[in-house]
Structure 1
């Protein structure tokens, strides 16, 4: 991507989105700003800039009222194509809440979901760690630019997330963590996900913003109940009274979301112009030969097949939809012989 291509993509997004004037003005970028972004992009192979018209733009996020026209990402962007569940909650979480978030995240990734959160202290951090501990994929949406890690206490977690998924921001890489950024980023957390789970929340918790946004985006909302003797769960109990699904284990979430995860795959297939199930008995033979009956990483598939990452991701989705392979934590497993 060069300066002119990035400018053209931004112009396209301005013309096709009902953006407010203030945001349109922000997208009228000075050449040096565009150069800075492209310098950041070219500094590392794991740096990515994804526009709304990009095939790798998350299809569920594209459906919200105000999708970010530009995403900066660090890490493995194939994570963006997995069906995701958001786990959010209080920064001042109880030890029990930390344990619940960790356990739920691990169980969800074992079932093939990616876990999305905001890398904040408390429940967010526990959700990311739970996904990583189970060998799964996790995405962190930051309220700062990707080069301004916040909170600093999570700088090592930040690196772990990059190695096991990706970190994302709509903000330019050098933007600091201003208070107004965080409620706005919550729409991305919920927008990326087929459902949002609130693990612990007081009546004034910022996590309730994510839950409200998820409802507005027509996504499922889940809440974990707790003791009425503490204030940790007042927000969760209120959500349940208002129709959120009560969650005790990951099975409660998965049962509700199974049909939605299939819908997500269909949306991705349509976005990438993947044909319906073919009568061909062996689709993409070189690619299929790259996947073993034990977990094969996507990097291994790309290296063995000799194809580009974008093409591999598209074809692997088709193979999954046809039942030849299945996505598992850490990569793919072949299900049947040719």
Structure 2
């Protein structure tokens, strides 16, 4: 019953206009400060909601929303709620500009491991796909969790590379968790599905961009195997670099113009010649800092 009511609280908050991740995080911090539990939120009166920072129209929207059987559907599908208030919450969920809660299918403890995020083209080359799978496998050998977005191309290669090696990989969805239809990903590893959106939300460009930000903040480092000169991967790279997140782009050759542009914007270069030992430079935070201080540059053309 407790989990059902926690989920109902999040569903109701999703119906509140103008109530995004930042305000939800602030509310959860207030609940923690007063030792209140999220599961009691659906029982609050309007005056209690006003004290938590909702205005009158937002409080009315919270109280008027009817989740019907949505919480039951989530629980019946084996989906649970993880929030920053939980003792087992991944450390990166406790702070930062991402959602303080996720709907999760699978064991979220995998996100407590050292991790590596992948962002890349849907229409990736065979070379980029192969590099991605090898890097993901090498990361698993080091005990890292692989995080990506579940799309075709680079994302799927990263997840599959981890599963083939028997490792853990997390798919962050750009839509609601009940609306996603998974592609078959065979392997002996551990697959975790996560969504920070309301369960029936469809795909949108906004949600895809928000999902990419979450991949950045939930990972310890971001690797970009292949990017176009425009699009979601380039946006993710720019966001990660602006946030001073350890960001690496694979050097697959001069014909990969998007990769060259990301390197020009400040990403560190990961040399690649089908040799997983190249990943050694990413093994520890000390290595990240050491390589991040080096001036590693590809022979890039001048801007036009």
- TM beyond 0.5: yes
- Unpaired stretches in structure 1, ≥5 consecutive residues: 262-338
How do residues 79-158 of structure 1 correspond to structure 2 at under 5 angstroms? 79-149=110-180, 154-157=182-185
**Distance in 1 of aligned mates of 2:285 and 2:160:** 27
Change (3 A) 1:239 1:43: same
On the 8 A contact 1:140/1:161 being kept in 2, the answer is: no
CA contact (8 A) 2:132 2:154 kept: yes
Distance 1:127 1:83, change over 3 A: same
For residues 99-127 of structure 1, what are the alpha-carbon distances to aligned partners after superposition, in whole Å with 9 as ceiling and x for unaligned? 11111111111111111110111111111
Deviation (angstroms), 1:180: 2.3
What does the per-residue CA deviation read over 1:124-152, in whole Å, with 9 as the maximum and x for residues that have no partner? 11111111111111011011111212xx5
- Within 5 Å, which residues of 2 pair with 1:107-256? 107-149=138-180, 154-157=182-185, 164-228=190-254, 230=255, 233-249=256-272, 250-256=276-282
Map 1:21-60 onto structure 2 (within 5 A): 25=58, 28=62, 30-33=64-67, 36-44=69-77, 46-60=78-92
The CA RMSD measured in Å over matched residues stands at 3.3
Residue 29 and residue 194 in structure 1: after superposition, are their counterparts in 2 closer, same or farther (change >3 A)?
farther
Give the alignment's TM-score, normalised by structure 2.
Answer: 0.71
Partner of 1:15: 27
Change in CA separation of 1:186 and 1:12 when aligned onto 2, cut-off 3 Å: closer
Say whether the 8 Å CA contact 1:13–1:53 is kept in structure 2: no
Change over 3 Å in CA distance of 1:5–1:115 after alignment to 2: closer
Q: Residue by residue, what CA displacement relative to the aligned partner does 1:132-186 show, whole Å, maximum 9, x if unpaired?
A: 111111011011111212xx5x5223xx599622011111222222232101111
Gaps (5+ residues) in structure 2? 14-22, 31-52, 288-304
- 1:72 equivalenced with 2:72 (yes/no): no
Question: Shift in Å at residue 30 of structure 1?
Answer: 4.7
